[in-house]
Structures are given as C-alpha cells and as structure tokens.
Structure 1
Amino acid sequence: MNTLSYGLLSLLSFAPLSGYDLAQKIKPLWQAGHSQIYPLLVSMEQQGYISYKLIKQVDKPDKKEYTITEAGLMQLRQWVETPAEHPVLRDEMHFKLYSLWLSEPEKAKEMLRKREEFCMSELNRYKDMLKGNEVLREKRGESHEPKATTFGRYLLIRKRIMDMESALQFCKLALEELES
C-alpha cells in the first residue's frame, strides 16, 4: 500500500465516505486526483481493508459509500506507529525565488502578494476548520486527549495554521526586502 492508500484509510477511520467525498477531503492534505483514488479504493476493497454499500440516488448514478474494516484499522494502526518519511518539499515558488534576480521587481511583488492572498485565504479556512473540529469534539463528548478521534485532526489543523502564519510572515519579509 502507498501513502495515499493510508491517507484514504485515515479519512475512512473517521467516517464512511463516498469516493467523491474522499477526493474532496484529501485535497488539503495530499495532492491526488480521482484517477488515483478510485483504483486504490478497488484495490483496498479487494484486500479487505474497506467495504462499501451502494447508495441509490434519484436523477444521479448510484454511489458507493466506503467504510474501513477491522483489517483496515489494523493495517492503518501499524502504519501510524511507524516513523514518517522526511517531508517532501515541492513548491514552484521556491525555484522562482531562487531565480528572482531575473524578474522585474513589480512582477516579483505581484507573485508574493498573490501568495500572501492565498495564504490568508487558507489561514481563514483552517481557522474555520478548527472551530468546526471543536464543535465536533463537543458533539462527540471528547476531550483533547490523544485517544480522542478528533485529536489528530486538531493537531493537523493547528499545524496548517502555523504553516500559513509562517508563510505570511515570509511574504511580508520578502515584500519588505523588495521595497528596500
């Protein structure tokens, strides 16, 4: 199984989801398209890690709602307990910054302002997600203990908030440097 497979199992360990819902929920965490996700769902179902029930729909094709199985939970638990690989850093802007000397200062500022806008939008989105996670935590009667189903989600959202705050600080620094 690859990392995306484990990501799908992680999402399914929280709640049953359709393939479409999985594709939407994985976007903030991992870059993956439907063409990657659906074959993995078939494979994981064949391996016994997930099962599905067919949901009849009116005016739309029927959909499959996937659920993680006990075997899937065991596989996910083993994976969660192994050390994570070093993070892969892939940001097109890094190469652009490296070659910034070729850019007109106004174009460079425009690139940084667009990144700043994106980061602010993401920061607001993650802050809303944090509020939603708190509502879900309370609804489930959970605390902020590591065994709570919402705890890992809480930590991940907090990390993304910190990432966006750091990126905003960088944009501000870079824009100040371009101004001087």
Structure 2
Amino acid sequence: MNTLSYGLLSLLSFAPLSGYDLTQKIKPLWQAGHSQIYPLLASMEQQGYISYKLIEQTDKPDKKEYTITEAGLAQLRQWVEMPAEHPVLRDELHFKLYSLWLSEPQKAKELLYQRMEFCQSELDRYNEMLGGNETLREERGESHEPKATTFGRYMLIRKRIMDMESSLQFCKYALEELEI
C-alpha cells in the first residue's frame, strides 16, 4: 500500500465516506485526483481493508459509502507507528525565488503579495475550523488527550496554521529585502 492508501484509511477511520467525499477531504492534506483514489479504493476493498454499502439515490447515480474494516484499522495502526518519510517539498514559488534576479522588482513584489493573500486566506480558514468546530474543541478539551478521535485533526490544523504563519512571515521578510 502507498501513502495515499493510508491517507484514505485515515479519513475512513473517522467516518464512512463516499469516494467523492474522500477526494474532497484529502485535498488539504495530499494532492490526489479521482483517477488515483478510485483504483486504490477498489484495491483496498479487494484486500479487505475497507468495505462499502451501496447508497441508492433518486436524482443521481447510486454511490458507494466506504467504511474501514478491522483489518484496515490494524493495517493503519501498524503504519501510524512507523517512521514517516522525509517531507517532499513541491512549491513552484521556490524555483521562482531562486530565479528572482530575472524579475522586475514590482513583479517580484506582486508574486510575494499573491502568496501572502493565499496564506492569509488559508490561515483564516484553518483558524475558523479550529474555533468553530465544537466537536473538535469538546473532544480535545483542555487536556490535549491524544486518544480523542479528533486529536490528530486538531494537531494537523495547528500545523497548517503554523505553516501559514511561517509563510506569511517569510513573505514579509522577502518584501523587506526587496526594498533594500
């Protein structure tokens, strides 16, 4: 199984989801499209890691709602405790920064302002998720209990908030450097 498979199992460990719901929920975490997700779902179903029930719909085609099985939970539990691979950095901005000397100063500033707008938008969205999610706050409580089912989601949202704050800080630094 690949990392995306484990990501899908992770999402299913929280609640049953359709293939479409999985593609939407995985977007903030991992870049993957329908063409990758649906074959993995079929493979994981054949391996016994997930099962599905067919949901009949009158106005749309029927859909499959996937659920993680005990075998899937065991597989996920085993994977979670293994060391993570080194992070893969794939940010187009890195190459643009490397070649910034070719850019007009105003265009370089616009590039950084655009990234700042994106980061601020994401920061607002993640802060809203954290502040507006009663279930997340109630289950997490003040004890930061790692066994709560939402603890991992809480930690991931906090990481994304820190990432966006760091990116904003870098953009401000870079804009100051461009003024020198």
- 1:52 is paired with a residue whose SS is strand
Q: Residues 123 and 49 of structure 1: is their aligned pair in 2 closer, same or farther, counting only changes over 3 Å?
A: same
Q: Residues 138 and 166 of structure 1: is their aligned pair in 2 closer, same or farther, counting only changes over 3 Å?
A: closer
2:31 and 2:84 mapped to 1: Cα distance? 18
1:26 and 1:137 mapped to 2: Cα distance? 18
- 1:14 is paired with a residue whose SS is coil
1:102 maps to 102
- 1:54 is paired with a residue whose SS is strand
Written as runs of structure 1 = structure 2, the 5 A alignment for 1:25-174 is: 25-133=25-133, 135-137=134-136, 141=139, 143=141, 144-174=144-174
Over aligned residue pairs, what C-alpha RMSD do you find?
1.1
Contact 2:130/2:136 (<8 A) preserved: no
Q: Counterpart of 2:52 in structure 1: which amino acid?
A: Y
Q: Residues 58 and 151 of structure 1: is their aligned pair in 2 closer, same or farther, counting only changes over 3 Å?
A: same
Q: Counterpart of 2:62 in structure 1: which amino acid?
A: D
- 2:61 is paired with a residue whose SS is coil
1:156 and 1:74 mapped to 2: Cα distance? 22
1:85 and 1:108 mapped to 2: Cα distance? 33
Q: Counterpart of 2:21 in structure 1: which amino acid?
A: D
* Runs of 4+ in structure 1 over 4 Å off: none
Structure 1 segments unaligned to the other structure (5+ residues) = none
Q: Residues 58 and 173 of structure 1: is their aligned pair in 2 closer, same or farther, counting only changes over 3 Å?
A: same
* Matched residues, number: 178
- 2:89 is paired with a residue whose SS is coil
Structure 2 segments unaligned to the other structure (5+ residues) = none
2:9 maps to 9
- 2:13 is paired with a residue whose SS is helix
Contact 2:136/2:154 (<8 A) preserved: no
TM-score (norm 1): 0.96
1:85 and 1:25 mapped to 2: Cα distance? 22
1:40 and 1:168 mapped to 2: Cα distance? 36
